[in-house]
Amino acid sequence: MAQSVLIAADKFKGTLTAVQVAERVTAGLRRIVPHLQVEALPVADGGDGTVDAAVAAGFERRELRVAGPLGDEVTAAFALRGDTAVVEMAEASGLQRLPAGVFAPLTSSTYGSGELLRAALDAGARTIVFGVGGSATTDGGAGMLTALGARFLDADGEPVAPGGGTLGALASADLSGLDPRLASVELVLASDVDNPLTGPKGAPAVYGPQKGASPDDVEALDAALAHYAQVLEDAVGPQAAEYAAAPGAGAAGGIGYGALLIGARFRPGIEVMLDVLGFAPALDRADLVITGEGSLDEQTLHGKAPAGVAAAARAADKEVVAVCGRLALPPEALGRAGIRRAYPLTEVEPDVAKCIADAGPILERVAEQIARDFLT
**pLDDT by residue for the chain (376 residues), tens digit each?**
668 999 999 999 989 999 999 999 999 999 999 999 999 999 999 988 999 999 999 999 999 999 999 999 999 999 999 999 999 999 999 999 999 889 999 999 999 999 999 999 999 999 999 999 999 999 999 999 999 999 999 999 999 999 999 999 999 999 999 999 999 999 999 998 999 999 999 999 999 999 999 999 999 999 999 999 999 999 999 999 999 999 999 999 999 999 999 999 999 999 999 999 999 999 999 999 999 999 999 989 988 999 999 999 999 999 999 999 999 999 999 999 999 999 999 999 999 999 999 999 999 999 999 999 999 9
- Rounded Cα distance, 36 and 153, in Å: 61
Both 262 and 341 in one domain: the answer is no
Tell me phi and psi for residue 266, to 5 degrees. -80, 130
Same domain (yes/no): 227, 170: yes
pLDDT at residue 2, rounded to an integer:
65
Query: According to the model, what pLDDT value does residue 211 have?
Result: 96
- Per-residue pLDDT tens over the stretch 325-356: 999 999 999 999 999 999 999 999 999 999 99
**Other CB atoms within 10 Å distance of the CB of residue 256:** 34
- Number of other residues whose CB lies within 10 A of the CB of residue 328: 14
Last residue of one domain, picked from the residues 270, 305, 329: 270
Same domain, 186 and 316: no
Q: Do 28 and 134 lie in a common domain?
A: no
- Of 270, 289, 318, which residue is a domain's last? 270
Of 222, 253, 270, the residue at which a domain comes to its end is 270
- Return the amino acid letter for 155: A
- β-sheet with 84-88: strand ranges across: 60-67, 73-81, 84-88, 127-131, 186-191, 265-268
C-alpha closest to that of 150 among 122, 173, 120: 173
C-beta neighbour count of 244 within 10 angstroms: 26
- Do residues 166 and 222 make contact, with C-beta atoms less than 8 angstroms apart? no
Half-sphere exposure of 139 (CA within 13 A, CB side): 32
308 and 174 inside one domain: no
pLDDT for position 54: 96
Q: Residue 230: give its domain's CATH number.
A: 3.90.1510.10
Say yes or no: 232 and 321 in one domain: no
Q: What is the CATH number of the domain that holds 33?
A: 3.40.50.10350
- What was the pLDDT predicted at 1? 65
Say yes or no: 307 and 360 in one domain: yes
> Are residues 235 and 310 located together in one domain of the fold?
no
* Domain co-membership, 102 together with 164: yes
Range of the domain at 182: 50-270
Distance CA 76, CA 61 (A): 10
The Cα 256–Cα 206 span in angstroms is: 15
Is residue 234 located within the same domain as residue 308? no
Nearest to 15 by CA among 307, 324, 291, 303: 324
- Residues whose CB is less than 8 angstroms from the CB of residue 250 and which lie 6 or more positions away in sequence, other chains included: 193, 195, 196, 197, 198, 201, 202, 203, 206, 207, 256, 257
Structural domain total, the chain: 2
Do residues 199 and 329 share a domain?
Answer: no
- In this predicted structure, what is the pLDDT of residue 3? 86
Tell me what pLDDT residue 192 has.
Answer: 87
What does pTM read for this prediction? 0.94
Q: What is the pLDDT of residue 162?
A: 98
CA 86 to chain centre: 11
Residues 329, 308 share a domain: yes
How far is Cα 276 from Cα 129, in angstroms, rounded to an integer? 9
**CA separation for the pair 28, 5 (Å, rounded):** 12
